[in-house]
């Protein structure tokens, strides 16, 4: 049991994204990086500025200056002048006494005043761990929040001052949220506008691609090709990248058009040569055959050797006449010579052709499978007869004696089909892609006792195509099926039910 590796989702594989998607995605990534850089820079600058301001306030709270000037000594039992409410001032005395606390606002003497509120034991213990070196640092006090604090040695006591960082941190958080929201909104607007702008910018490239698509849908392998598709002049400005592509595509189309015109002219010359040569060869070949036949009818005694030579000349002249006729037919079909457009009873045509094949190959087992009602198509009866005769001759020539060959006629909704099925050795796989090419021959494993020219199946393909039909082949050892599909007329759409299988007995 084979296990298939899971494929990566399309959105996770940028290699398969459209150019517009990649451009917009790249732009969004760059804008995101730019927004992060700008936002981070602003946040860092604001952080440093706010912390500098809090450090200045902390320094002033640690060393207040009285209005009258001179030195000031902090009184541990009451807040210093200008000390902020919510700040902390604690003095650890040498005897272990702890004085001070958190500054709070109280009503005093008909007004408002400041006084200390003692700290909790946990907060006091956390402050006691600060080194008394005057370095400002952040400290989180249980139940009080985060503070900017510093401890200094004053005589034998340790003085600690701390300012709350709640407002500072709230400001930083609000600025970060506002900046992030601004960047996000900017990205959404930029993504929408970028997709709109990129779509408009790539519209000329889509027009160039549309021109290339129309050219790719043209039939370029045969016949005269009118390669009139060109990139519009507005999309061929060499000063732009898209214009360079459009200009290069137009130059390439000019070269291709010239090459196709040269190819068509060469094909027409070859076809005309083949048609003229085939037409001119018919007369001398008829003369050779006539003289050979006349010499055999002469009453004058002819040696056995001369009679054999004349017989071989007549045989090869007849074979060459058939080859010339085939070449002339292909040349006429290539030139678009119109075929007959008459009602043709395909069922009777198949019956007659199989009867002829039975006479030519009595040691093959020929079978018919045709419907009761006639199947009528519009076409050239002589050429359709040649198609069936070539298919049956191909089956007879390339299969051993005693092989079963079945010819089946059927109808679909809009086509009549004829299948020639043989139980022979099959066609080699390497030959199958070239089976309808001219002068295509099988290898030595398929008998060529009848002297195949390699034009029979190419004539089948050319005649069926000229009738607006198709011919296909499927081959494997033990079964080879050639299927010819021809358009139906309105009166020939018979039901596939009630078919009658008729067979001719094998000639042994």
pLDDT tens digits along 377-402: 888 888 899 889 989 988 888 888 88
Average pLDDT value for residue range 26-47: 90
pTM of the entire predicted model: 0.48
Structure token digits, residue 221: 């392998």
Q: Where do the H-state alpha helices sit in 129-165? A: none
Structure-token pair, residue 37: 């850089």
Closest CA to 124 of 106, 139, 134, 105: 139
pLDDT at 336: 66
Mean pLDDT of 187-208: 84
Say whether pLDDT at 93 is over 80: yes
User: 271 is written with which tokens?
Assistant: 């076809």
* Between 105 and 142, residue with greater pLDDT: 142
Contact present, 395 and 360 (Cβ < 8 Å): no
Residue 497 scores a pLDDT above 50 = no
The share of the chain scoring above pLDDT 90, in percent, equals 16
Packing angle of the helix pair 19-62, 166-216 (nearest 10 deg):
170
Which range, of 104-108, 140-144, 151-155, 325-329, averages the lowest pLDDT? 325-329
At 303-331, the pLDDT tens digits run 777 777 777 777 777 777 767 776 767 77
Distances 171 to 49, 176, 178, 206 between C-alpha atoms, Å: 12, 9, 11, 50
Q: Is residue 105 predicted with pLDDT exceeding 60?
A: yes
CA angle 238, 240, 241 (to 5 degrees): 100
Q: Alpha carbon of 468 to those of 235, 372, 459: distances in Å? A: 40, 25, 14
Give residue 146's pLDDT: 92
Give bridge partners of residue 344 from the DSSP assignment: 377
56: nearest Cα among 171, 172, 152, 161: 161
Q: Say if residue 452's pLDDT is above 60.
A: no
- Mean pLDDT score across all residues of the chain: 79
Pick from 387, 375, 348: which is nearest to 471 by CA? 387
Q: Is pLDDT above 60 for 492?
A: no
71 pLDDT above the threshold of 60 = no
The arithmetic mean of pLDDT across residues 408-413, rounded, is 88
By DSSP bridging, strand 404-411 and strand 365-371 are parallel
Query: Who's near 219: CB < 8 A, 6+ residues apart?
Result: 225
Q: Hey, which residues does 407 pair with through a beta bridge?
A: 368, 420
Decide if pLDDT at 174 tops 90: yes
Pair 25, 14: CB distance under 8 Å: yes
pLDDT band at 2, cuts 50/70/90?
very low
Of 130-144, 438-452, 486-500, least confident by mean pLDDT is: 486-500
CA distances (Å), origin 376, targets 272, 357, 428: 34, 22, 35
Burial of 123 from C-beta contacts in 10 A (0-12 / 13-18 / 19+)? buried
Contact 57, 163 (CB under 8 A): yes
Q: Percent of the chain beyond pLDDT 70?
A: 76
The owner of tokens 């003085």 is 159
- Answer for the pair 91, 99: CB distance below 8 angstroms, yes or no: yes
pLDDT of res. 148: 92
pLDDT score recorded for residue 481: 92
Model confidence at 88: pLDDT above 60 = yes
Tokens of 317: 């002249």
What is residue 216's predicted lDDT score, i.e. its pLDDT? 76
Contact 293, 318 (CB under 8 A): no
- Residue 474 buriedness (CB in 10 A; 0-12 / 13-18 / 19+): middle
Q: Which residue has the tokens 């060393």?
A: 63
| pLDDT for residue 446 is more than 70 | no
Q: Are 146 and 165 in contact (CB under 8 A)?
A: yes
Least confident of 88-97, 116-125, 489-498: 489-498
d(CA 364, CA 401): 5
Residue 177 has pLDDT above 60, yes or no: yes
pLDDT band at 147 (very low <50, low <70, confident <90, very high): very high
In which residue are the tokens 């981070």 written?
40
Is the pLDDT assigned to residue 49 strictly greater than 90?
Answer: yes
How confident is the model over 335-358, as a mean pLDDT? 85
What is the average pLDDT across 41-65? 88
The pLDDT, as a whole number, for residue 66 is 59
365 close to 505: Cβ distance less than 8 angstroms:
no
Write down the pLDDT at residue 51: 92
Range with the poorest average pLDDT among 151-165, 235-249, 291-305, 458-472:
291-305
Angle in degrees, 0-180, between the axes of helices 304-334 and 241-297, rounded to the nearest 10: 150
Which pLDDT does position 14 carry in this prediction? 64
At residue 366, does pLDDT exceed 80? yes
Please state, in angstroms and rounded to a whole number, the distance separating the CA atoms of residues 117 and 143.
Answer: 14
Q: What's the average model confidence in pLDDT over 25-35?
A: 88
Domains of the chain in start order, with CATH, are 76-164 (no CATH), 220-337 (1.10.287), 342-445+454-503 (3.30.565.10)
Where are the strands (E) in 68-208, listed by range? 88-92, 98-108, 111-117, 137-141, 145-154, 157-164
CA atoms within 13 A on the CB side of 406: 12
pLDDT in tens, 246-303: 888 888 888 887 887 777 776 666 666 666 666 667 677 777 777 777 776 766 676 7
């Amino acid at each position: 049991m084979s296990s298939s590796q899971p494929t990566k989702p399309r959105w996770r594989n940028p290699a398969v994204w459209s150019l517009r998607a990649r451009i917009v995605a790249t732009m969004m990534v760059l804008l995101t990086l730019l927004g992060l850089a700008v936002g981070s820079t602003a946040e860092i600058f604001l952080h440093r500025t706010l912390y500098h301001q809090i450090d200045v306030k902390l320094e002033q709270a640690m060393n207040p200056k009285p209005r009258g000037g001179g030195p000031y000594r902090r009184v541990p039992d009451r807040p210093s002048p200008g000390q902020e409410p919510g700040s902390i001032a604690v003095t650890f005395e040498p005897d272990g006494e702890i004085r001070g606390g958190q500054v709070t606002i109280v009503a005093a003497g008909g007004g408002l005043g400041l006084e200390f509120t003692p700290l909790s034991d946990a907060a006091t213990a956390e402050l006691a761990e600060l080194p008394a070196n005057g370095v400002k640092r952040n400290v989180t006090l249980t139940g009080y929040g985060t503070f900017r604090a510093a401890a200094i040695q004053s005589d034998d006591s340790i003085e600690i001052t701390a300012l709350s960082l709640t407002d500072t941190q709230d400001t930083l958080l609000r600025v970060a949220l506002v900046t992030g929201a601004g960047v996000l909104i900017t990205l959404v607007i930029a993504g929408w506008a970028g997709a709109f702008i990129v779509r408009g910018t790539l519209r000329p490239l889509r027009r160039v691609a549309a021109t290339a698509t129309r050219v790719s849908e043209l039939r370029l392998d045969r016949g005269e090709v009118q390669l009139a598709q060109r990139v519009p002049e507005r999309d061929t400005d060499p000063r732009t990248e898209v214009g360079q592509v459009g200009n290069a595509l137009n130059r390439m189309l000019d070269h291709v058009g010239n090459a196709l015109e040269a190819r068509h002219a060469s094909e027409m010359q070859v076809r005309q040569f083949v048609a003229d040569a085939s037409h001119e060869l018919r007369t001398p070949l008829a003369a050779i055959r006539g003289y050979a036949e006349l010499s055999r009818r002469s009453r004058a005694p002819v040696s056995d050797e001369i009679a054999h030579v004349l017989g071989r000349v007549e045989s090869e002249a007849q074979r060459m006449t058939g080859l010339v006729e085939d070449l002339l037919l292909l040349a006429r079909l290539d030139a678009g010579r119109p075929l007959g457009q008459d009602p043709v009873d395909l069922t009777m045509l198949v019956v007659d052709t199989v009867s002829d094949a039975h006479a030519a190959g009595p040691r093959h087992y020929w079978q018919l499978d045709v419907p009761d009602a006639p199947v009528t198509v519009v076409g050239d009866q002589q050429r359709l007869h040649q198609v069936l005769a070539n298919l049956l001759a191909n089956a007879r020539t390339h299969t051993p004696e005693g092989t079963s060959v079945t010819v089946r006629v059927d109808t679909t909704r809009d086509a009549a089909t004829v299948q020639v099925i043989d139980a022979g050795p099959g066609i080699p796989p390497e030959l199958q892609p070239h089976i309808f090419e001219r002068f295509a021959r099988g290898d030595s494993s398929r008998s060529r006792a009848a002297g195949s020219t390699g034009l029979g199946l190419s004539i089948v393909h050319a005649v069926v195509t000229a009738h607006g039909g198709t011919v296909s082949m499927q081959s494997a050892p033990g079964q080879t099926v050639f299927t010819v599909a021809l358009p139906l007329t309105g009166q020939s759409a018979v039901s596939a039910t009630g078919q009658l299988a008729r067979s001719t007995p094998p000639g042994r």
